[in-house]
Amino acid sequence: MTNKIYALVGPHASGKTVLIGKLMQMGIHYIPLYTTRKPGKIDSDTRFYRFVGKAEFFKQEFIVHVTYKGDYYGVLKKDVLSALQEHKISLVMLEANGVKQLSRLLKENFETIFLMVDYVTLVERMIRLGHKNSEIKYHLEYAENNSEFDNWKDATHVVKIRNVANPGTAFDQILAIMGLMRLLPPEKLKECVQ
């Protein structure tokens, strides 16, 4: 089996950090994002992000380097190389431009999983996260204006998120995509269905 890096992609509040957090609890390796964004009340978890100043950011050697909503984000070259050498499966959280950069370099070692979420679910999730109406409007307009809802067209896999508060089915689908679920042998399957 080739060591792989899976990128979770989706609009703000699609459930990327929830799903990655659950996968990390299982022991799946995560490649952190470095960002110049200031930690806020939402998405400030240091398991997912390394918050650095601009001066420090530009001293690093990034394999992926993007601007997103006015801040810089990057994935360190050494983190990607280490992931491919030391882990059968690794995760990273990216947006479309980051996916393009990494897919050109990694080819068969890289797959994307787009989290498809409808507007209503996104709004409900952002309300639960504590966003104000103006923030919700901004995130939805940003996603629409930057074609974030169309990124599924370029993804290797698409997972429909029906309930981001209980991501059970999506979580199981992601495990299956990564090859972490096995089919039961025929005799065991018969026992389960009879």
Render pLDDT for 175-189 as a digit per residue (tens, 0 to 9): 999 988 766 677 776
Q: Is residue 53 part of a domain?
A: yes
Is 40 among the domain residues? yes
* Strands, E assignment, the chain: 4-9, 29-30, 33-35, 49-51, 62-68, 71-76, 89-93, 110-116, 157-160
Residue 184, domain member (yes or no):
no
In a domain, 26, yes or no: yes
User: pLDDT at position 183, please?
Assistant: 67
H or E segment to which residue 100 belongs: helix 96-106
| 153 lies in some domain | yes
For residue 47, tell me if it sits in a domain. yes
Q: Is the pLDDT of residue 194 over 70?
A: no
Residue 185 falls within a domain, yes or no? no
For residue range 37-86, what is the model confidence (pLDDT) as tens digits? Answer: 988 766 667 889 999 999 999 999 999 999 987 899 999 999 999 999 99
pLDDT tens, position by position, 105-117: 999 999 999 999 9
Q: Is the pLDDT of residue 118 over 80?
A: yes
Q: Which H/E stretch holds residue 18?
A: helix 16-25
Q: How far apart are CA 58 and CA 36, in angstroms?
A: 10
Quote the pTM value.
Answer: 0.88
Confidence of residue 123 (pLDDT cuts 50, 70, 90): very high
* Domain CATH for 175: 3.40.50.300
Counted domains in the chain: 1
Of 26-35, 163-172, 177-186, the range with the highest mean pLDDT is 26-35
Angle at 143 between CA 62 and CA 138, to 5 degrees: 105
Structural domain of 57: 4-179
Q: Is residue 30 part of a domain?
A: yes
Residue 122 φ/ψ, nearest 5 degrees: -60, -45
